[in-house]
A and B are shown apart, each in its own frame.
Chain A
Amino acid sequence: MPHLLRIIFQPGFFASAPVHVALFAGGIVAVVSGIVGSFAVIRGQSYAGHALADISVTGGSASFLVGISPLWGFVGVGVLAAGVMDMIGIRRPRGRDLATGIVRGAGLGLAALFLYWDTTHTNTTGAAITILFGSMFTISTSILPVMALLSVTAVGIVAVLYRPLLLSSVAAELAAVRGISVRAVGAACLVAIAVAVSLSAMTIGTILSTALLIGPAATGLRLTSRPGLAMTWAALIGLAATWLGVLLAYDSFYWPPARHGWPVSFFVVTLIFLGYVLAGLPGGQRPRRLAMRPAGSGSGQG
């Protein structure tokens, strides 16, 4: 038995400081993404979530230039982009993806320029790859308190607005009749998504950011039709996938072909994807589909 445990947890796993930080930061981000992501999926804003992660990269690359902490670059530009998206019409279902895409395109164009300046003016060739793909094992411990604070902010927005947000996501007309400002609630939700996503984009990279925002939330909504329960599932699934991914990445140091470990993002994404596919297999108890589609989502194109 101890032998088996030694195979699963390679020597030094629990003693390694980078692993501690990865488990802690990755865990926070996974839980926050699961909770906020449930609303992104219910509201049909997967694309906005993904685009905000990419756009926050612009802030990250700009922060290298002006010399502020990347954290503020990521979060600041993420929230700013959420505001622009809301302004140019993210509420209209049909033109929404288009507006999102345009903002993302302009943001990434700027990111290309900033990264180019980063690599020519300062001598950080690896900055591009670090910013784009992130690495959980290189998170600095000094940003952990700020990270925790921002995570609480994102979850706090969603928690305070829970009922009006849910109502205006599922039945916007009914919410408006009840006196809820659908527009303001939607904007607040987008800001929460922006904070959660830019946080995760900075700590674990844009790939995992989108994966943790959408994957666990979509899986949770497949498992149950009760929103609160689905959110709990999403947080747990995200947490499990992240921690298991960190463990596998640590173990993979001794795997072929290269002796430097496989990327964490590969493991986490694969685990999340497997979870989603398994949850959709026929035969299990399929919950009755609640009205979990955003109003006017059309024929599901896009």
Chain B
Amino acid sequence: MFSGFMMSTWVVATIVAAVAGVVGFFIVLRGAAFVADAVPQGAFAGAAGASLLGINTLIGLAAASLIGALGIGWLGRSGRRDVATALALVVMLGLGALFLSFSVEYAPEIYALLFGEVLGVSVGEIAPVAALGALCIAAILVVYRPLLLASVMPELAEARGVRSGRMDLVFLVVVALATSLTLPVVGALLIFSLMIGPPAAARSLTDKPMPAMLASALIAIGVVWASIAAAYDTNWPVGFFVGAIGAGCYAAGRGWAAFRRTRTTRPGAWRGAAEHGPQAANVRV
């Protein structure tokens, strides 16, 4: 399990999990699960297009996920956000189906892109994944405070001069970047299990944003490690374990939160804002 060719898998998977955990924290905070779901599937079109044109898959993924994320932002300005997301998603998938029908890839290759092929990571992939991952984390750290405020209380953020629209765009771009590096490892259909399960669990562990973000990254790393080990032993697809353990994290988090609610009734500061509206919050920013 820890032989030479598996080492690059462990390294890449750890980077991917950390980034997914950090970015996922904001996805959960903003209740933007649909976006986190749609962008990776849209990015799949880019992978199909890249394989058709014979260029690097990572470039195709990044381009398509950026187009998808910006498309959601653009469509969402003139209509409902969930409708915009659904439409951007199906348009990208329609393009993906078109590219697939033109290309001569084997079905298993596409299956790997959809459900992940964690055991096939090569040493050469470590550097680009690490660079993209560092870029994502850096972007999040730079806009950390305004993004947090705009996510929890958009009105207050506007009053303080934070442009919600611009923060939204930054957020979408970061999701797109994180997507393009996570996709080849966990697969298009299950990325967001990794981006939603661990942060949702972390949110019920602590009320403070920074520790919650760190806990989310750590839980995500744990999920991925357990999934790879289980996939290596059973030879079952890694996506199954990521999905199952991610859902298990969420269930455990819900259970823990319910247990804690029976002991104390005070709503947590920033989580209170998300669930009960600004009145219930006492966030100091």
Show the binding face of A for B, using Cβ within 8 Å: 41, 44, 46-47, 49-51, 54, 88, 92, 94-98, 100-113, 115-116, 119, 125-126, 128-129, 132-133, 207-208, 210-211, 213-215, 218, 222, 257-258, 260-263, 265-266, 268-270, 272-273, 276, 280, 293, 298-302
Structural contact, B239 and A263, CB atoms closer than 8 A: no
User: In the complex, are the beta carbons of B107 and A218 less than 8 A apart?
Assistant: no
Interface residues of B (CB under 8 A from A): 28, 30-37, 76, 78-83, 85-87, 89-91, 93-95, 97-98, 100-102, 107-108, 110-111, 114-115, 154, 164, 168, 187, 189-190, 192-193, 196-197, 200, 236-237, 239-244, 246-247, 250, 254, 274-275
Nearest Cβ in chain B — how far from A91, in angstroms? 13
Inter-chain contact A109/B81, CB cutoff 8 Å? no
Q: Is the CB of B87 within 8 A of A116?
A: no
Chain A residues positioned under 8 Å from B101 (CB to CB): 258, 260-263, 266
Q: Which of A97, A218, A268 contacts B87 (CB 8 A)?
A: A218
A102 engages B94 (CB within 8 Å): no
Complex: A119 Cα to B80 Cα, angstroms: 40
Contact partners of A88 in chain B: CB under 8 A: 254
List the A side residues contacting B168 at CB < 8 Å. Answer: 301
Which residues of the other chain, B, contact A44 by a CB distance below 8 angstroms?
Answer: 80, 82
Say whether B94 contacts A269, CB under 8 Å: yes
How far, in angstroms, from A132 to B110 measured CA to CA in the complex? 11
**With known contacts A47-B37, A110-B240, A302-B35, A265–B80 Cβ distance under 8 A:** no
Q: Are A102 and B197 in contact (CB-based, < 8 A)?
A: yes
Quick check: B80 and A300 within 8 Å, CB to CB? yes
Contact B197 A105, beta carbon cutoff 8 Å: yes
Q: Can you name the residue of chain B whose Cβ is closest to the Cβ of A97?
A: B33
Task: Determine whether the beta carbon of A112 is less than 8 Å from that of B240.
Answer: yes
Contact A302 B82 (CB under 8 A): yes
Within 8 Å CB of B78, what residues of A?
Answer: 280
A218 and B83 CA atoms in complex are apart in Å by: 7
Task: Tell me whether A302 and B87 are in contact (CB under 8 A).
Answer: no
| Interface contact B37-A104, CB-CB below 8 Å | yes
* Contact, CB under 8 Å: B244 / A222: no
Q: A281 — nearest CB in chain B belongs to which residue?
A: B78
Q: Which residue, A103, A111, A280, has most C-beta atoms of chain B within 10 A?
A: A111
Q: Which residues from chain A contact B274 at a C-beta distance below 8 Å?
A: 94
* Nearest 3 Cβ contacts at the A-B interface: A109-B243, A269-B94, A105-B193
Report the bound CA distance from A208 to B93 in whole Å: 9
Q: Which residues of B contact A301 (CB under 8 A)?
A: 30-32, 81, 154, 168
A58 to chain B, nearest CB (A): 10
Rounded to whole Å, the gap between the CB of A84 and the closest CB of chain B is: 10
The answer to whether B90 and A47 touch across the interface, beta carbons within 8 angstroms, is: no
> Which B residues are CB-close (under 8 A) to A125?
107-108
Q: For chain B, what secondary structure do more than half of its interface residues adopt (helix, strand, loop), or is it mixed?
A: helix
A257, B100: Cα distance in complex, Å: 12
Q: How far is the CB of B228 from the nearest CB of chain A, in Å?
A: 14
Interchain CB contact under 8 A, A108 and B110: no
Q: In the bound complex, do residue A98 and residue B28 qualify as a contact, i.e. CB atoms below 8 Å apart?
A: yes
Main secondary structure of the interface of A (DSSP, over half): helix
A102 B250 Cβ-Cβ under 8 A: yes
B86 in contact with A109 (CB, 8 Å): no
- Given the complex of chains A and B, what is the CA–CA distance between A210 and B89 in angstroms? 9
B189 nearest CB across to chain A (Å): 5
User: Of A101, A213, A268, which is within 8 A of B36 by CB?
Assistant: A101
Complex CA distance for A211 and B96, rounded to whole angstroms:
14
Residues of A within 8 A of B254 (CB): 88
- Across the interface, A112 reaches (CB within 8 A) one of B80, B115, B200, namely B115
30 A–B contacts, CB within 8 A, in A order: A46-B85, A50-B34, A50-B89, A51-B37, A94-B31, A98-B31, A98-B196, A101-B36, A101-B196, A105-B192, A105-B246, A108-B189, A109-B239, A112-B115, A113-B237, A133-B97, A207-B90, A210-B86, A215-B86, A215-B90, A263-B94, A263-B97, A263-B98, A263-B100, A268-B94, A269-B93, A272-B87, A299-B154, A300-B81, A302-B81
Name the B residues within 8 Å of A116 (CB-CB): 115, 236-237, 240
Alpha-carbon gap, A115 to B240, bound state (A): 10
CA distance A149 to B250 in the complex (A): 37
CA distance A22 to B98 in the complex (A): 19
What are the residues of chain B within 8 A of A103 when measuring CB–CB?
247
Please state if B35 and A129 are interface contacts (CB–CB under 8 Å).
no
Which of A49, A112, A222, A266 is close to B79, meaning CB atoms less than 8 Å apart? A222
- Determine whether the beta carbon of A302 is less than 8 Å from that of B90: no
| A276 and chain B: residue at smallest CB distance | B87
Contacts of B31 in A (CB 8 A): 94-98, 298, 301-302
Chain A residues contacting B197 (CB-CB under 8 Å) are 102, 105
Say yes or no: A207 contacts B97, CB within 8 Å: yes
- Residue numbers in A under 8 Å from B95 (CB-CB): 266
Would you call A41 and B33 a contact (CB within 8 A)? Answer: no
Shortest C-beta distance, B110 to chain A (Å), equals 7
Known: A97-B34, A101-B192. A214 touches B83 (CB 8 A): yes
Residues of chain A contacted by B79 (CB below 8 angstroms): 218, 222, 276, 280
Assembled-state Cα–Cα distance A211/B244 (Å): 28
Which B-chain residue is minimally distant from A105 (CB atoms)?
B193
> Which of A95, A102, A132, A268 has most chain B Cβ within 10 Å?
A102
